[in-house]
Amino acid sequence: MATNPVRYRLNTRNSFFLCRTCRNHLLTLDNVITTVEGRVNRFLCHNAVNVKSDPISIRRSLFNFPAVNVRCNECNRHIGEQFFTLDGDRPPHRVMERSYVLHVYIGFEILNHIPKLE
């Protein structure tokens, strides 16, 4: 049984991130550890919501760490990766363990697109 999706309040003081496809709420700015620059900007973070991970049997390597793909619960689009450990192997940086690297849309930018009621 699927759980009800987590939703954040949309206002100028609450920064959060959304799925680029369906705008499902995924992450608050408070959970971002750092940005990862590249062809697509990504966020290294903890405590993402409304996401699911592929099975560990479908794993790959990201930054030389084992990782699985992460998908949006709403639209099933690939939105990033989650790091994990294998049989006691610990990453040299504990911050990486169980962390996510997400490609997301900045939620507070939506405020500029909401029509004002007159």
> Considering only CA atoms, which of 104, 87, 88 is closest in space to residue 8?
104
Domain 16-112 in this protein, CATH class? mainly beta
Taking residues 10-36, report their average pLDDT. 80
Q: Where do the structural domains in the chain lie, given as residue ranges?
A: 16-112
Q: Are strands 42-45 and 51-53 parallel, antiparallel or unpaired?
A: unpaired
pLDDT digits (tens, 9 = 90+) for 42-92: 888 888 999 999 887 766 777 677 888 999 999 999 888 888 766 555 555
Can you read off the two tokens belonging to residue 21? 């496809």
Amino acid at 46: H
* Percent of the chain residues past pLDDT 70, beyond the cut: 64
Model's pTM, two decimal places? 0.70
Q: What CA–CA distance (Å, rounded) separates 111 from 30?
A: 19
Q: Band of the pLDDT at 108, cuts 50, 70, 90?
A: very low
* pLDDT at res. 105: 62
Q: How many CA atoms lie within 13 A of 43 on its CB side?
A: 22
- Backbone conformation region of residue 87, classed left if phi is above 0, alpha if psi is from -120 to 50, else beta: left
Q: If pLDDT is split at 50, 70 and 90, which confidence band does 114 have?
A: very low
User: What is the per-residue pLDDT for 94?
Assistant: 59
With 0-12 / 13-18 / 19 or more C-beta atoms within 10 angstroms meaning exposed / middle / buried, residue 6 is middle
Check pLDDT > 50 for residue 8.
yes
Local structure of 66: helix, strand or coil: strand
